Structure 1
């Protein structure tokens, strides 16, 4: 069986930027990652992760390209995760983040499950719409009640060491 996806760049421009991709349901998320990076023109050398998502696009479990946890917390890896193990008719959404410095963010949705078409090589880039910008769209994060941070201002002058309650000989 073949999974058909629409991969949409999360941007605030007027133009939608997306790719429609077909891939075998038995391929890994690493295979899918490689297909996405190639279809959007990335070189594929940056870190990336998929996040399992619910219908409201809330970010869930991370599935990483590499394990950077240094053994502290085990991380699920793309190379060990098959598409059909995390996606089906009921669970259709992923968030994909490429290059954690630029934060290219994509909404990935399983649109259809179809039979293999003889003579078609998979993965298959079916449709391209829009050109990727030269820089990742800026993300705006809303801090809840940003003014409340002022509640923690105790009028300390960190340069006025004599008036700080600090024992310089603590050890």
Structure 2
């Protein structure tokens, strides 16, 4: 089977690529295809993140595991696309170059039969020019957290010079 993805750069302008790739390809193969289709050299650190329907990132699947833990991370090289994407789980987030934070929304558009004579991966369509620098990260999706912080009252009525009314003995140690 062939997975057809739309890979969208997180930017104000519409910049995306439509890519076909075999379902049994690795995430590393997909990473290489994405970097080439957007004109990157592929030499920077990158990660895929599984995502829910609201584009909230979940499990990280890095290009390579840099952590020294007893439970190693699942890496792109060891993860097949079909292991993280399905008809029910259609979204991934891809971050390239952790210093610049090029962020992409990756969504499975359809699953089709393999076409004889076609080479995969295949860039089906390219729209928009990639800017010279990564668009600034937009964390506005965290409005709920900001509302909670605004509702909290951080001011207090304590006078630090008035130790008698603080509720403890000033010679407590």
2:51 equivalent to 1:62: no
How far apart, CA to CA, are the structure 2 residues paired with 1:149 and 1:46? 43
What is the aligned partner in structure 2 of residue 88 from structure 1? 86
Structure 2 length as normaliser, TM-score? 0.81
- Largest Rg, 1 or 2: 2
How far apart, CA to CA, are the structure 2 residues paired with 1:61 and 1:151? 37
1:110 alignment partner, one of 108, 111, 119:
108
What is the aligned partner in structure 2 of residue 5 from structure 1? 5
Cα displacement (A) at 1:43: 0.3
Cα displacement (A) at 1:118: 1.0
Cα displacement (A) at 1:70: 2.0
Aligned structure 1 segments of 4 or more residues deviating by more than 3 angstroms:
140-143, 145-152
Q: Give unpaired runs (5+ residues) of structure 1.
A: 155-171
What is the aligned partner in structure 1 of residue 170 from structure 2? none
How far apart, CA to CA, are the structure 2 residues paired with 1:78 and 1:3? 17
| 1:38 partner SS | helix
Structure 1 length as normaliser, TM-score? 0.82
What is the aligned partner in structure 2 of residue 165 from structure 1? none
What is the aligned partner in structure 2 of residue 164 from structure 1? none
2:51 alignment partner, one of 50, 53, 62:
53
Cα displacement (A) at 1:149: 9.8
Matches within 5 A, 1:121-160: 121-141=119-139, 144=146, 145=149
Cα displacement (A) at 1:140: 3.5
User: CA, structure 1 residues 55+147, in 2 after alignment: closer, same or farther (shift >3 Å)?
Assistant: closer
How far apart, CA to CA, are the structure 2 residues paired with 1:38 and 1:101? 19
How far apart, CA to CA, are the structure 2 residues paired with 1:149 and 1:37? 46
RMSD: 2.2
How far apart, CA to CA, are the structure 2 residues paired with 1:121 and 1:151? 64
Cα displacement (A) at 1:137: 0.4
How many residues align structurally?
A: 153
